[in-house]
Amino acid sequence: MTRACIPIGFPTVRIIMTTIRRMGWAAVLIAAAAGAASAQQGRIDGELFGRDGEPLAGARLLLDEIGGTRHFELDSDGRGDFIHLSVSPGRYQMTIEIDGQPLAIAEVRVRAGENPLRVDLERLEIESDEFSGDLGVATRVVRDVTLVSEGAAVAIPSENPFDDTEERTALAAADAAMREAFDAGRQAMGAGNFDEAIRLFTAAAEGSPTPQHIIYANLGLAYERARRLEEAAESFELAQETALAQGVLPEETNYYTNLTLIYATAGDVDRAIENAERAVEFDSEGAGLSFFNIGVVLTNAGQSAAAVTAFERAVEVDSEMADAYYQLGIAYLSIPDRIADAVGALERYLELRPDDPNAETARQLLEFAQP
C-alpha cells in the first residue's frame, strides 16, 4: 500500500493543534503560597560532629535571632544529622546543648531556600554556603565555634542589624502590609477578578522589604489570566531571577515552564522553544514535560520533523508519558518516510491509556499506519 500522507479529511487537525501540558501550575502557584513569609523561609539541614570527631547524637541546637525575637530548635539524630524546614532568614546565634547544658555557640546566617551546614566541635568550625551577586553565586564560608565553660550562662548578642527601633518598626509594618495585599490578591484570583489581583500583587511586590519570587509568580499568573502576555512574561522572568538569587530548589521554581506556555500562547515560537530548553537544562527531573512542550510548540508551528525529535526525547526521559507517545505517533504520520514508526508510538499510547478519549482515534490512526 502506498502511503504518501494521511488521507484528506482524516480527523487529525484537532489532535495536532494540541496545547502544552500545564502540570497544574496555576493551582500550585496559588495553593503553595499560603503565606508570603512561608514561601521565603529557609531550610536548614546538616551534620554535627563532637569533640572526638564522631557524629554527635542527641544534641539540641537552639537558634536565637540576633537583635530579634525569633527562636528555633533542632535535634541531631543517631547519625548527627539535623534538619528544620522553616526558619526565617536572618542572623542567629546557634547554641549547641546536651541534656540542657550548653557546649558551644556560633553565628549562623540563614537565607531563603537551602542552608546546608557542617558543625565540627573538634575543629571548632561551622561551614555553610552563602550566596552573593545578582545570580546568587555560592561561596563556602567557615566560621568559628566557641566552646562554653561548664555551668556558664549563654547570652544572646544584643546588636541590632537595623539602624534603630524606628526602622525595625517600619520594616515590620511594611511586611504586614505586603502579606495583607498578597492574601487579598489570592482571593481576587480565586474569584476570577484578575485586574484586581494584578493591582494587589503589584502592591505586595512593591511593598515587600525583600524580593519574593512567589509574589512575582502569582503576578505573572494574574497577567496571563488577563491575557496580558507580555507583562506576564516579564513577571515570570523576574520570579525566576529572584528564585535563582535565593538558591531555591529548581523543582520548586522552574518558571521557565510558565514562560514556555506564555510565549507559545503569544505565538512567539522561538522564545517558547528557548524557554522550554532552559527548563530542561535547569531541571532535569522535569525534562520529559519540557521536551513535550517543545514538541507541541513545534507541531503547532507546522515543524513536524523537528517536533518528532522533541517528542522522542520526551518519551526517552519519561517512558510513562502517554500524551507524548500520542503526539509522537501523529508527528510520524505527517512525514511520509516515518509513517511505519507511528505504529510503536501509538501502540504504547494505547497500552498506557486504553480508555482515553483519544483512544479510538489512535486505533484508527494505527490501522492506517500498519502495512
297-330 pLDDT, tens digit each? 888 878 888 889 889 988 988 899 999 999 999 9
Closest C-alpha among 227, 226, 182, 188 to residue 203? 182
In whole angstroms, give the CA distance from residue 142 to residue 164: 29
**Local confidence band at 18 (pLDDT 50, 70, 90 cut-offs):** very low
The strand pairing partners of 104, in sequence order, are 96, 147
Cα distance between residue 278 and residue 287, in whole Å:
10
Which of 37-46, 112-121, 209-218 shows the lowest per-residue confidence on average (mean pLDDT)?
A: 37-46
357 pLDDT higher than 80: yes
Q: Identify each DSSP E strand in 57-173 by its residue range.
A: 60-65, 71-75, 81-87, 90-98, 101-110, 113-120, 125-132, 137-147
Strand 60-65: give its sheet, edge to edge.
71-75, 60-65, 90-98, 101-110, 137-147, 125-132, 113-120, 42-49, 81-87
Tell me what pLDDT residue 38 has.
Answer: 35
Residue 24 vs residue 334, higher pLDDT: 334
- Which stretches of the chain are assigned E, i.e. beta strand? 42-49, 60-65, 71-75, 81-87, 90-98, 101-110, 113-120, 125-132, 137-147
Top-confidence residue, 27 or 229 = 229
CATH of 13-37+166-369, one of 1.25.40.10, 3.40.50.1980, 2.70.98.10, 3.40.50.720: 1.25.40.10
Q: Do 144 and 125 meet the contact criterion of CB atoms below 8 Å apart?
A: yes
Three-state SS at 95: strand
Topology adopted by domain 42-147: Immunoglobulin-like (2.60.40)
Q: What's the CA gap between 112 and 110, in Å, rounded?
A: 7
Q: What is the mean pLDDT of residues 286-295?
A: 80
pTM value is 0.55
* Residue 254: strand, helix, or coil: coil
Residue 136's pLDDT is: 43
Provide the mean pLDDT of the chain.
Answer: 78
Split at pLDDT 50, 70, 90, the class of 34 is: very low
CA-nearest of 293, 330, 298 to 13 is: 330
Q: What are the extents of the domains in the chain?
A: 13-37+166-369, 42-147
Query: Residues 55-82: what's their mean pLDDT?
Result: 87
